[in-house]
Amino acid sequence: MKIAIFVSGRGSNLEAILKARKQGLLTSDFIVISNNPKAKALHIAQTYNVEHYAFEPKPKKIFEEKVLLLLKEKHIDYIVLAGFMAILSKEFVKEYEKRIINIHPSLLPSFPGIDVHKRAIERGVKFSGCTVHFVNEHVDEGCIIAQAITSISYDDDEESLAKKILNLEHKLLPQVISWLEQDRIYIKDGKAHIKDEKNGSTFNPDIEVFNE
């Protein structure tokens, strides 16, 4: 399988994916695409000897045209948004319908968008986490594939919560990519399900695995 990872900044999720690849837990060929030529993530791609490309983000139409050309040229099967800080156009999403996944640092549908940890703490929720979902034309609204949770304690602040959730992200995203590689994710009645590895029946990922 050929997967393009879209990044914009720090790249810690990218690193978790490339580490999993190095350890043999993932088998895909990856390329990295950034809309920020200065993204630290590009150095991570370089360190892992992964092909990487950066395009100026504006105008968005030109950015997307260049990216689509590259994706076709490289025969990309799936796109993983790993800290990609731009909203893809409806037309772009249509080209890769049900083949784009995103990681979001909250338990969707709670707290879509930005400033999620601040809003979670202000709202006083007791649990938060991260969500991997398919991307559709609405931001953070595509079908949910998997989630991982953590509790929020009274002394957590934005920074400590972000750290806890980032640790979960680094486990959940490679896990979902591995399910994609094994063709175990399917959508039925508008919901994503994971097939059981052994007998093909629907499997309920054990969220305890990710609980911290």
The H or E element containing residue 15 is helix 12-22
Which residues lie below 8 Å from residue 76, measured CB to CB, with a gap of 6+? 2, 3, 4, 31
Cβ 193 to ligand GRF shortest distance, Å: 23
Instruction: State the minimum distance, in angstroms, from the CB of residue 188 to ligand GRF.
Output: 26
Residue in the shown chain whose Cβ atom is closest to ligand GRF: 83
Residue 33: strand pairing partners: 6, 53
CB of 104 to ligand GRF, least distance (A): 6
Judged by CB, which is closer to ligand GRF: 9, or 112? 9
Beta bridge partners of 131: 104, 147
Q: Which of 52, 104, 117, 133 is catalytic?
A: 104
Comparing CB distances to ligand GRF, the nearer of 156 and 169 is 169
Nearer to ligand GRF, 25 or 195 (CB): 25
The DSSP bridge pattern shows strands 191-195 and 202-203 to be: antiparallel
Angle at 68 between CA 190 and CA 186, to 5 degrees: 20
Written as six digits, the tokens of 70 are: 């590259």
Residues of this chain that interact with ligand GRF (CB under 6 A) are 9-13, 82-83, 103-105, 166, 169
For this structure, is 104 an active site residue?
yes
Cα diameter, the chain: 51
What is the pairing mode between strands 185-188 and 202-203?
Answer: unpaired
Instruction: Tell me how far, at minimum, the Cβ of 201 lies from ligand GRF, in Å.
Output: 30
Residue whose CB is less far from ligand GRF, 82 or 180: 82
Which residues are part of the catalytic machinery? 104
